[in-house]
Amino acid sequence: MVDPVSTLFLCAREFASTPMVVALDALLTASDVYPGLRTGRPVATADSIERHLVRWGRFPGCGRIREALPLARPGVESPKETETRLLLVSLGLPEPAVQHVVSTGGRFLARVDLAYPEYRIAIEYEGDGHRTARDQWRADIRRQRDLEDHGWLVIRMTELDLRDGGTVLAARVRRALDVRRHLWG
């Protein structure tokens, strides 16, 4: 049986940049809600992948892994979060925090997919489960209201926002950052 890191290494030459970071994020995550992954996470750490690279030496695709590893983040909960983060950065925006915990008065308020905490901007990726599961949909609305009541701007997005290359989404995030920077200076 081949371990997950070795499996990625064996397939590395087939991966483009973004899918490679998505795969690395999936290996690094401790999330038990990441779609399609079993519990008992994480499979690896960035350091263990680095050590694995040293043991393997040169192989087809090793350069792709070395380029993608610094872009991987532990804690990501879906491939779309990774794609969104990378897209925003590629379009000149600062890198948002991943799975940011929002607390108020020492009390947990929410955990948001991506955030610019210093400006209280949350970016939430809404997959179909957020639309079709009644309880999830209701919880999402309540959480958005709670965040907004505490001064957060919540930008909700879907797959459609990624299809056009993310330019409309990036413009929305850029405007939100500009407004918040101007207000909080």
Bridge partners, 122 (sequence order): 115, 154
Residue 80 has pLDDT above 80, yes or no: yes
Q: Among 42-51, 57-66, 70-79, 136-145, where is mean pLDDT lowest?
A: 136-145
Strands (E), 49-176: 97-104, 107-116, 121-125, 153-157
Bridge partners, 116 (sequence order): 121
Q: Which residue has the higher pLDDT, 27 or 128?
A: 27
Asked whether the whole model's pTM tops 0.85, one would answer: yes
Question: What pLDDT digit, counting tens, does each position of 111-162 carry?
Answer: 999 999 999 999 999 875 555 667 878 888 999 999 999 999 999 999 999 9
Please give the structure tokens belonging to residue 166.
């993310």
Residues, the chain: 185
Residue 28 has pLDDT above 80, yes or no: yes
Residue 106 has pLDDT above 80, yes or no: yes
pLDDT band at residue 164 using 50, 70 and 90 as cut-offs: confident
Mean pLDDT of 91-109: 96
Q: What is the pLDDT of residue 7?
A: 94
Q: What is the pLDDT of residue 121?
A: 98
